[in-house]
Structure 1
Amino acid sequence: MTKVVFFDDLYVGQPLRSEAVEVTQEQIIRFARDNDPQYFHVDPDAAKESLFGGLIASGWQTGALTLRLLLDFCGLAFAGGVIGTDTRISWKRPVRPGDRLHIEGEITKLRPSRSQTGRGYVTFEASTYNQDGVAVQTIEATMLALRRPDEK
């Protein structure tokens, strides 16, 4: 079970590092059929004729995998849930079947809420890398986090 954390458990400069997860062709097709059914995400043969020269994962799938890695390996499973307030994502390179993705980043800012004493805002920057160390995505996000009830 993932450890639940509060705003007060975090610190600026806190590293965010994950283990690697493999992205399979089946996962790419399944996600795309449900969420982003473009031919270069769902049809390996047709994808060969695309700008990408083969099947690639949806950028939204890469984003979802990044969130999963943050939750499972980086200690960002916030009490009350992970609620984004501002996010900038940049997709740098396509993710292909067989790629192994991991993230590296850090918490860059912590700001207690002035109007809601039981909350704070956590900003982090992270890159998602493939097995060759090539960044496939970068993200800067600010999320709402609850404070410990006894530390408001």
Structure 2
Amino acid sequence: MTRRYLEDLQVGETWTSESLTIEADDVIEFGRKFDPQPFHTDPDAARSGPFGGLIASGWHLASLSMQLCVKARLFGETPIVGVGADELRWLQPVRPGDTVYVKRELVEIQSIPDRPKRGVAKARIDLINQHGEVVMRMYGLTSIPRRPVVSGCFRLLTVANGW
């Protein structure tokens, strides 16, 4: 697998993940551990709640989005570091049995003046259900290394030797 550096990225590039079906057991388990509200943890109580049934926690959806992105290795073997998320919004409830996938679009690339070896890529990350509805949107900020500068002498040796 190759490495991708900040210089390899282009605003507008897109990527779509594989799909993932949300299971009721996973919704309940995540809800019990991290977001213990009845509409995430108790199917009977959820029926009389504001959503008329069990729904996945928004934090569960954000975690699944991260899983799908990391699994795809969008930057190859390049070590990346998440530095934040902007404008996280949950737009539609996600229910057990729904199938979701991530669509990511690179919207901005920035150099960091006080960190010359890294930059930041900003991507719109949409989690989309089986009906084509965006159920969650956020802007992920990722610190990405710049391409290492190779000295001329070392570069000549590596090119001459086929490295």
Query: If the length of structure 1 is used for normalisation, what is the TM-score?
Result: 0.88
Cα separation, 1, equivalents of 2:3 and 2:36: 34
Are the aligned partners of 2:82 and 2:140 in contact in 1 as well (CA < 8 Å)? Answer: no
Report matched runs for 1:43-58 at 5 Å. Answer: 43-58=42-57
Give how far 1:146 is off.
2.0
Q: Residues 15 and 40 from structure 1, CA distance in 2 versus in 1: closer, same or farther, beyond 3 angstroms?
A: same
Give how far 1:6 is off.
3.2
Give how far 1:72 is off.
2.0
Q: Which runs of 5+ in 2 are unaligned?
A: 151-163
Matched, 1:18 2:22: no
Query: If the length of structure 2 is used for normalisation, what is the TM-score?
Result: 0.82
Report matched runs for 1:99-118 at 5 Å. Answer: 99-118=98-117
Give how far 1:63 is off.
0.6
CA-atom RMSD in angstroms: 2.1
SS in 2 for 1:96: coil
Aligned partner of 1:139 in structure 2 is: 138
Q: Aligned AA for 2:42?
A: D
Aligned partner of 1:32 in structure 2 is: 31
Identity of aligned residues (%): 32
Q: Which runs of 5+ in 1 are unaligned?
A: none
Give how far 1:29 is off.
0.9
Q: Aligned AA for 1:60?
A: W
